[in-house]
């Protein structure tokens, strides 16, 4: 057993040695010096629970031995407890469950009048509990910035190395024609879902995701250069920043007037009309823009290291 | 409708297990996308159309695409990597 | 007080949660870990959404001006699930980006191998 | 003075807006925006704390047009703005002190994004501290998780990325469990705001229904927050995370991010369940056990570590152990000690991380003890700062750490069946602390091994940040009584 592990380590050692010659973070240099890569889903080294001599310090050895076992036990314990808990919860679908209380009642009975939204879910997330949703769109923003940090590659800014090497779907006539046919429908549906968020199922987030998917499809069918006319780095930044700022500031106004019991200039309008429900429509549009740009931005960053 | 819900729930569990235990990453991702689609049907059954639209667009759409691009990126790294190696060997020859 | 059979959606959600949770903790392959994370998140969503469902009632979109609480399901869990979905897609994107970066550097998706390589790299310095 | 009630709202929104705007600014401008923001948040929070102390009341502020069980709310008494002030101060000290490392560790193109992350982190901290709604807390916990991952990965080394992956995995498990707890709680009570949940839980506990789900949901929430803040069996990510990030991030992660989760746990214990109900569940015994174990095990790990920053990380795990031990004791005195420990550890750890990084700059960038021999003589200001921090951690009178340990000791002595073990653990941990910190300090001031490296001049920002933190440490340690009475008032308002 021991011998076996040592031979395996040997190959590992060789690999390490070769790529440590360059401390550089740039991939290309490492790649040239390294050995054959392994297929991603096959592991050669059973490492947890088996340590390499002189490699790990005491804590790591301890951690290696105990981690899978402890994690397994913890998982089993939590699962068992949760299963018992689930069986003791209020009945599924019951109409006298504790969650159906005065809160739900007011949401359902006065929701349309108070928020102006026919789709009560949208009314709740963008009016009653707008603070959560303000946080939610910033979660997405945080993730977008973090992904940008991780994958932005200044080197691709000037030369389109990656794009040429990719299997190019844009050259595929069937695909391109399919996109030409589908794209308007998808984009129209996305816009409909965003704009009708307060009237029908959907809203800024779902519509934005659909629009983002449409943009992704566009870039696949016609190439990034074409999509860049619509969403490039500048417009991405401007759209996201403006939408988020508008969102934060308008919600700040709404919170401020609400908390100080001041009259707000924003009225909820006639429920059922498209220009109704006060801030909900503009907020849905903002969220939709942010989400669409972010989704496309994720894709573009993953695919070629820039927006 | 109850039976239908049971079938879908069973399908979810099977998909989750298959996604966990399947060895091929690409298949795992495809299974996961199937899982998301089933999930969005369940949400229609639970009377939450908002969630159904979102799950279909996000779970089966964008997340799936992100997984695919990641896998593709990984394969691309591998390709560049072996090309680089070939290149080096040629030089040595 | 109910049981396993009446709370079927909740129980399935817990089963899915445990599948996701275990593979997030124990799987060595990073992509598998992230799939596990996603399964865990959707399971939590299913659990949450099942709390809002009321037998025989419709989606909370006011139709024909009927504003009685007894005709719609609880809309609050749906709103919370929407938030939770956004969080999970953000986290997934970040984790996948981390994976791509690690793969670029260490050419493997196995966390253990990456760990050994990284330790060795530190020792070299 | 009702206009002061608007301060939390405006400082929160300002953070979010500044974050969005900073993402298109140049690094320098973004830095100035962040520093201005930190100053404003600090000033606002100090003013609110002062008003809280003068008026001794809680203020509930609607976030929207709807009252408690329907709309979101924030609430602030004394502790919430007090901790906000503390955390914004620590963040400011960290970025001023760690600026030189930031410039070298973070690529030029990405530098403004560091400040975007900090702004978002600051917003999340305030929201978690102020919020009166448990689901909002979850959303902002996620923002703080992503933002803290962001401030780590801005340093593009393989090790940092790996540490970030580990950190994220543990954090996500923690958030998943926390959310699960919130959901079960919602199913039982039908509320998400803390006050109605508490009322409903009290009546549920009296009726005896749903006893198990209630306990499980609270346990899941505490466990989730525990994992995220580095509670004992889940503290393994800390060494990598704190050891591999840029020094400013290490200070912020250890001094601020893990502490805000602990404060949320305190809020769950004191406000959501109420202390009495929580201590009926028996969960405090688990926390007590984990805390005691952390105090010993993590200290032993620190003793065996050969890298000064990893040693500090293990020491953080041990200090978090003190906090959970205090929560496990379950008396008002112990709660006082817990909050004081949050204050003490936050200030001291930031100081230690900053000065340690400067000391290793004076030793050719190496963190190993061998190279750090005599580093304090080459870099006297950082040496003094590190020594102060170490003395505080060890618990020498006059410093904050002493007061914290004293408070824990007196609190432990008042709990009959837990006193013995707690006191033994406190003594053993103090001895271990002394061993590893004094060993380090002696090495730092030893005159041999001086020749290899030349004297080093730390940057003005670092000296200023360290000086402020040292002075704060001494001042709060020496005049501990007023601070303790403010914290005591805050705790009374909280529960």
Going by C-alpha positions, the residue among D93, D16, D92, D78 that lies closest to residue D45 is D78
- Domain that includes residue D219, residue range: 2-494
pLDDT of residue D172: 92
What is the C-alpha to C-alpha distance for residues D159 and D485, in angstroms, rounded to an integer? 44
- The pLDDT mean for chain A works out to 74
Contact (Cβ atoms closer than 8 angstroms) between residue D241 and residue D228: no
Going by C-alpha positions, the residue among C94, C37, B28, C110 that lies closest to residue A301 is C94
Dihedral-angle region of residue D64 (phi above 0 means left; psi in -120 to 50 means alpha; beta otherwise): left
The answer to whether C92 faces chain B, any CB pair under 8 Å, is yes
Buried b (16+ CB within 10 A) or exposed e, A65-88: eebeeebeebbeebbebbbebbbb
Q: Is D413 exposed, middle or buried (0-12, 13-18, 19+ CB in 10 A)?
A: middle
Query: Which residues neighbour D71 within 8 Å (Cβ) at sequence distance 6 or greater?
Result: A128, A129, A258, D62, D63, D64, D65
Contact (Cβ atoms closer than 8 angstroms) between residue A230 and residue A215: yes
The answer to whether C66 faces chain B, any CB pair under 8 Å, is no
- Across the strands, what pairs with D60? D75
What is the C-alpha to C-alpha distance for residues D196 and D134, in angstroms, rounded to an integer? 11
What is the C-alpha to C-alpha distance for residues A18 and B52, in angstroms, rounded to an integer? 50
DSSP secondary structure letter of residue A20? H
Touching chains, A (3+ CB pairs < 8 A): B, C, D
The whole-number average pLDDT for the span C43-68 is 82
Touching chains, B (3+ CB pairs < 8 A): A, C
DSSP secondary structure letter of residue A48? T
What is the C-alpha to C-alpha distance for residues C99 and D445, in angstroms, rounded to an integer? 43
The answer to whether C118 faces chain A, any CB pair under 8 Å, is no
Task: Name residues of chain D where pLDDT drops below 50.
Answer: none
Residues of C with a Cβ under 8 Å from any D Cβ are 1, 17, 21, 24-25, 30, 33, 37, 40-41, 44, 47-48, 51, 76-77, 80, 83-84, 87, 90-91, 94-95, 98-99, 101-102, 105-106, 111, 114-115, 117-118, 121-122
The whole-number average pLDDT for the span C44-58 is 86
What is the C-alpha to C-alpha distance for residues A88 and A75, in angstroms, rounded to an integer? 20
**Chain C residues with CB inside 8 Å of A99's CB?**
51-52, 74, 76-77
SS3 call for D133 = strand
pLDDT of residue D197: 92
Domain count, chain D: 1
pLDDT of residue D137: 94
What is the C-alpha to C-alpha distance for residues A178 and D310, in angstroms, rounded to an integer? 56
Contact (Cβ atoms closer than 8 angstroms) between residue D97 and residue D466: yes
Can you say whether the dihedral through the CA atoms of D467, D468, D469, D470 is positive or negative?
A: positive
Going by C-alpha positions, the residue among A184, A186, A206, A185 that lies closest to residue A195 is A206
Q: D473-491, pLDDT tens digit by residue?
A: 999 988 889 999 999 999 9
- Looking at the predicted structure, is the pLDDT value of residue A8 above 60? no
Whether residues B63 and C89 touch (CB distance < 8 A) is answered with: yes
What is the C-alpha to C-alpha distance for residues A204 and A193, in angstroms, rounded to an integer? 8
Q: A184-231, pLDDT tens digit by residue?
A: 999 999 999 998 888 888 888 889 999 999 998 888 888 888 888 888
Determine which of A266-275, C102-111, D54-63, D85-94 has the lowest per-residue pLDDT on average: A266-275
pLDDT of residue D20: 93
- Looking at the predicted structure, is the pLDDT value of residue C38 above 60? yes
The answer to whether D239 faces chain A, any CB pair under 8 Å, is yes
Query: Which DSSP string do the residues of D301-333 spell out, in sequence order?
Result: HHHH--BHHHHHHHHHHHHHHHHHHHHHH-SHH
pLDDT of residue D90: 94
Contact (Cβ atoms closer than 8 angstroms) between residue C122 and residue D158: no
Query: Which DSSP string do the residues of A102-162 spell out, in sequence order?
Result: HHHHHHHHHHHHHH--SBHHHHIIIIITHHHHHHHHHHHHHHHHHHHHHH--GGGGT--HH
Out of D162, D172, D180, closest to residue C102 by CB: D162
Can you say whether the dihedral through the CA atoms of A237, A239, A241, A244 is positive or negative?
A: negative
- Looking at the predicted structure, is the pLDDT value of residue A38 above 50? no
List the single residue in B with minimal CA-CA distance to A197.
Answer: B50
Higher-confidence position of B79 and D25: D25
Whether residues A103 and C76 touch (CB distance < 8 A) is answered with: yes
What is the C-alpha to C-alpha distance for residues A58 and D298, in angstroms, rounded to an integer? 12
User: Strands D59-63 and D72-76: what pairing?
Assistant: antiparallel
What is the C-alpha to C-alpha distance for residues A256 and A262, in angstroms, rounded to an integer? 8
- Across the strands, what pairs with D133? D193
Rg, Å, chain D Cα set: 22
**Chain B residues with CB inside 8 Å of A202's CB?**
49-50, 53-54
Q: Is D451 exposed, middle or buried (0-12, 13-18, 19+ CB in 10 A)?
A: exposed
- Across the strands, what pairs with D59? D76
| A-D interface (Cβ pairs under 8 Å ≥ 3) | yes
Dihedral-angle region of residue D190 (phi above 0 means left; psi in -120 to 50 means alpha; beta otherwise): left
For chain A, the straight-line distance linking the first and the last C-alpha, in angstroms and rounded, comes to: 50
Contact (Cβ atoms closer than 8 angstroms) between residue D388 and residue D306: no
Rg, Å, chain A Cα set: 27
Out of A52, A68, A108, closest to residue C75 by CB: A108
- The pLDDT mean for chain D works out to 90
Q: Which long-range contacts (CB under 8 A, 24 or more apart) does D36-40 make?
A: D37/D119, D37/D122, D38/D88, D38/D89, D38/D91, D38/D92, D38/D122, D39/D92, D40/D11, D40/D14
Whether residues A162 and B76 touch (CB distance < 8 A) is answered with: yes
DSSP secondary structure letter of residue A267? -
For chain B, the straight-line distance linking the first and the last C-alpha, in angstroms and rounded, comes to: 70
pLDDT of residue B91: 65
Interface of A with B in 98-157 (CB under 8 A): 119, 121-122
Going by C-alpha positions, the residue among D50, D65, D43, D45 that lies closest to residue D130 is D45
pLDDT of residue A15: 44
What is the C-alpha to C-alpha distance for residues D129 and D127, in angstroms, rounded to an integer? 5
pLDDT of residue D398: 85
Q: Give me the residue spans of the domains in chain A.
A: 2-88, 118-304
What is the C-alpha to C-alpha distance for residues A111 and A284, in angstroms, rounded to an integer? 18
H or E element that contains D476? helix D460-478
Which domains does chain C carry?
8-124 (1.10.287.3510)
What is the C-alpha to C-alpha distance for residues A218 and D17, in angstroms, rounded to an integer? 31
Other C-beta atoms within 10 Å of D197: how many?
23
Going by C-alpha positions, the residue among D320, D304, D488, D338 that lies closest to residue D408 is D338
Can you say whether the dihedral through the CA atoms of C63, C67, C72, C73 is positive or negative?
A: positive
Determine which of A70-84, A159-173, D387-401, D406-420 has the lowest per-residue pLDDT on average: A159-173
Going by C-alpha positions, the residue among A162, A189, A178 that lies closest to residue A218 is A178
What φ, ψ does residue C34 adopt, rounded to 5°? -70, -35
């Amino acid at each position: 057993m021991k011998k076996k592990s040592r031979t395996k380590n040997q190959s590992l050692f060789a690999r390490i040695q070769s790529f440590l010659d360059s401390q550089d973070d740039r991939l290309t240099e490492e790649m040239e010096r390294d050995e054959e890569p392994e297929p991603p889903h096959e592991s050669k080294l059973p490492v947890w629970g088996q340590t390499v001599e002189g490699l790990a310090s005491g804590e790591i050895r301890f951690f290696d031995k105990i981690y899978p076992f402890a994690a397994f036990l913890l998982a089993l314990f939590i699962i068992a407890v949760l299963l018992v808990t689930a069986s003791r919860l209020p009945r599924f679908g019951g109409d006298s469950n504790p969650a159906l209380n005065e809160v739900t009642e007011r949401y359902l009975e006065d929701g349309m009048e108070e928020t102006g939204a026919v789709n009560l879910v949208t009314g709740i997330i963008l009016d009653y509990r707008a603070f959560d949703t303000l946080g939610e769109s910033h979660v997405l923003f945080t993730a977008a910035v973090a992904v940008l940090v991780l994958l932005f590659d200044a080197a691709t800014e000037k030369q389109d190395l990656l794009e040429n090497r990719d299997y190019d779907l844009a050259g595929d006539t069937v695909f391109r024609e399919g996109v030409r046919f589908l794209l308007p429908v998808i984009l129209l549906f996305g816009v409909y879902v965003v704009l009708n968020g307060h009237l029908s199922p959907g809203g800024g987030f779902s519509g934005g995701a659909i629009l983002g998917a449409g943009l992704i499809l566009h870039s696949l069918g016609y190439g990034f250069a074409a999509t860049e006319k619509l969403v490039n780095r500048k417009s991405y930044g401007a759209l996201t920043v403006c939408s988020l700022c508008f969102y934060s500031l308008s919600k700040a106004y709404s919170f401020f007037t609400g908390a100080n019991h001041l009259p707000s200039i924003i009225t909820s309008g006639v429920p059922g009309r498209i220009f109704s429900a006060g801030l909900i429509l503009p907020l849905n549009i903002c969220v939709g823009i942010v989400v669409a740009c972010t989704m496309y931005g994720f894709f573009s960053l993953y695919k070629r290291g820039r927006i | 409708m109850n039976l239908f819900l049971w079938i879908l729930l069973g399908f979810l569990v099977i998909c989750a297990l298959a996604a966990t235990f399947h060895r091929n990453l690409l298949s795992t991702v495809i299974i996961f996308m199937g899982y998301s689609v089933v999930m969005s049907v369940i949400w229609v059954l639970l009377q939450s159309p908002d969630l159904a639209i979102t799950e279909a667009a996000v779970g089966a759409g964008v997340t799936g695409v992100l997984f695919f691009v990641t896998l593709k990126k990984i394969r691309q790294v591998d390709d560049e990597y072996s090309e680089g190696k070939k290149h080096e060997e040629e030089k040595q020859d | 007080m109910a049981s396993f059979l009446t709370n079927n959606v909740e129980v399935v959600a817990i089963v899915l949660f445990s599948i996701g949770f275990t593979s997030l903790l124990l799987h060595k392959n990073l992509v598998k870990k992230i799939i596990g994370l996603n399964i865990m998140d959707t399971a939590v969503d299913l659990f949450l959404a099942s709390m809002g469902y009321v037998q025989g009632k419709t989606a909370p979109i006011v139709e024909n001006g009927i504003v009685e609480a007894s005709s719609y399901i609880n809309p609050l869990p749906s709103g919370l699930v929407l938030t939770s979905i956004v969080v999970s897609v953000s986290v997934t994107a970040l984790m996948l980006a981390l994976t791509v970066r690690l793969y670029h550097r260490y050419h493997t998706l196995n966390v253990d191998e990456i760990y050994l390589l990284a330790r060795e790299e530190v020792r070299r310095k | 003075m009702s206009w002061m009630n608007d301060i939390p709202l405006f400082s929160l929104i300002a953070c979010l807006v500044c974050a969005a705007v900073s993402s298109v600014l140049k690094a320098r401008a973004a830095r100035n925006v962040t520093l201005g923001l930190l100053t404003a948040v600090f000033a606002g929070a100090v003013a609110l704390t002062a008003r809280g102390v003068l008026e001794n009341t809680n203020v509930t502020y609607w976030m929207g047009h709807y009252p408690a069980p329907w709309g979101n709310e924030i609430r602030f008494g004394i502790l919430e703005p007090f901790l906000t002030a503390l955390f914004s101060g620590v963040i400011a000290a960290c970025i001023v002190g760690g600026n030189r490392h930031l410039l070298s560790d973070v690529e030029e193109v990405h530098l403004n994004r560091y400040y975007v992350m900090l702004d978002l982190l600051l917003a999340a901290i305030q929201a978690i501290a102020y919020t009166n709604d448990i689901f909002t807390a979850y959303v902002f916990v996620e923002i703080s998780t992503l933002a803290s991952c962001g401030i780590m990965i801005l340093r593009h080394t393989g090790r940092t990325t790996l540490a970030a992956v580990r950190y994220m995995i543990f954090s996500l498990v923690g958030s998943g469990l926390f959310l699960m707890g919130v959901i079960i709680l919602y199913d039982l009570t039908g509320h998400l705001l803390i006050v109605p949940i508490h009322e409903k839980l009290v009546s549920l506990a009296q009726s005896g229904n749903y006893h198990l789900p209630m306990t499980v949901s609270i346990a899941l929430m505490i466990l989730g927050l525990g994992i995220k803040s580095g509670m004992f069996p889940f503290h393994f990510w800390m060494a990598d995370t704190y050891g591999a990030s840029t020094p400013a991030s290490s200070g912020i992660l250890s001094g601020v991010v893990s502490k805000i989760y602990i404060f949320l746990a305190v809020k769950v214990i004191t406000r959501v369940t109420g202390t009495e109900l929580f201590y009926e569940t028996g969960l405090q015994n688990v926390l007590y056990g984990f805390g005691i174990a952390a105090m010993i095990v993590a200290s032993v790990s620190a003793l065996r570590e050969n890298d000064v920053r990893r040693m500090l990380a293990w020491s953080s795990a041990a200090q978090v152990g003190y906090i959970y031990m205090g929560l496990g004791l379950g008396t008002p005195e112990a709660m006082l000690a817990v909050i004081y420990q949050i204050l003490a550890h936050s200030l001291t750890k930031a100081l230690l991380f900053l000065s340690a990084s400067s000391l290793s700059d004076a030793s050719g960038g190496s963190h190993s003890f061998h190279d750090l021999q005599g580093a304090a003589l080459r870099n006297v200001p950082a040496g003094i700062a590190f020594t102060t921090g170490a003395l505080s951690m060890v618990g020498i009178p006059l410093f904050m750490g002493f007061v914290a340990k004293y408070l824990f000791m007196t609190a432990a002595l008042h709990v009959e069946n837990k006193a013995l073990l707690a006191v033994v653990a406190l003594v053993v941990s103090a001895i271990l602390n002394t061993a590893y910190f004094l060993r380090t300090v002696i090495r730092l001031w030893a005159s041999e091994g001086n020749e290899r490296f030349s004297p080093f001049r730390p940057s003005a920002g670092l000296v200023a940040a360290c000086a402020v933190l040292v002075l704060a440490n001494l001042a709060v340690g020496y005049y501990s009584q007023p601070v303790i009475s403010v914290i005591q008032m805050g705790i009374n308002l909280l529960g």
